[in-house]
Copies of this chain bind each other. A is one copy, B any other.
Amino acid sequence: MTSAVLYDDVSSAMASTPPRPPKQPLHISISEQLKDHIEAGQYEPGEKLPSEFDLGGAFGVSRTTIRRAIANLMKQGLVTTQQGKGSFVSDRHKISFSMANPLMQFDIALKHQGYVGRIQSLRFQHTHPPIDVMKKLELRDGDPPVYLQEKIIYADESPIAIEVDYFPDAIGERLSEQLASRFTYSTLETQGIKLHAAKVSLESIPASYELSEQLLVPLGMPLLVFNFVAYQEKRIPVVCGKVLSRSDWTCYTSHIEI
């Protein structure tokens, strides 16, 4: 009884939204109301929401249900939470990368858009690649192993992407020193390796637990996956790999002539 009255009071006090169909679960109804408030600008980007305890009181529901509503908003990228501090409305504008320059002058694009780009090498190994990489680099069973490099790309101290590259033996050998600290494209450039063509694809996946820890995002947050194989002249593969980037920070653009 009391809670029903409270709920009605609050819902009219908090929002002038029309009542939603009652078939919706409570946590959805609440997260949608909060979403409306956020999008109406009643909470500014960066602003703190009321505490879970207070929201529970305001909506007349248990803290568990409020937590679920806030989890809904997190899944949609609308809020973030910080233990001991509170829940905050998300902000942020996207950095765009051109698909036309594959292997991509990430560093240049970052600088142009006002960020300091930096990479941190996670692994650099001489190993036997999985079959799909063998195929992309056009290698045969007897060929020597490839160089694998894995690194994190930072924009202003925020990790925004993980890049995994595979280089054929001959090329990786020449680059091993530079690859550890420089962006892939600029490394190739200083070695006089010019790219002539590329096959690329873009998809999106939810962050696994491991990726969510490396990129500091919630489990399941969308990541953009940029897959590429780059060729030098005569269609010789130079490098293949993928860039997994935070979708809240990045997008890819292209101009097409038909």
A residues near B (Cβ < 8 Å) are 28, 31-32, 35, 72, 74-77, 94, 96, 99-102, 195-209, 219-224, 247, 250-258
Contact = CB atoms under 8 A, between A and B. Distances in A.
Given A203-B251, A251-B203, A72 B258 contact: no
24 contacts: A28-B209, A72-B219, A72-B220, A75-B75, A76-B207, A76-B219, A76-B220, A99-B256, A102-B256, A102-B258, A195-B258, A197-B255, A197-B257, A198-B255, A199-B256, A200-B253, A202-B252, A203-B224, A203-B247, A203-B251, A204-B204, A204-B224, A204-B247, A222-B222
Contacts of A208: 35, 76
A220 B223 contact: no
A252 B201 contact: yes
Contacts of A200: 253-256
Contacts of A223: 204, 222
A205 B253 contact: no
A204 B219 CA distance: 15
Given A76-B220, A197-B256, A202 B205 contact: no
B31 A209 contact: yes
A258 to B, nearest CB: 6
A121 to B, nearest CB: 23
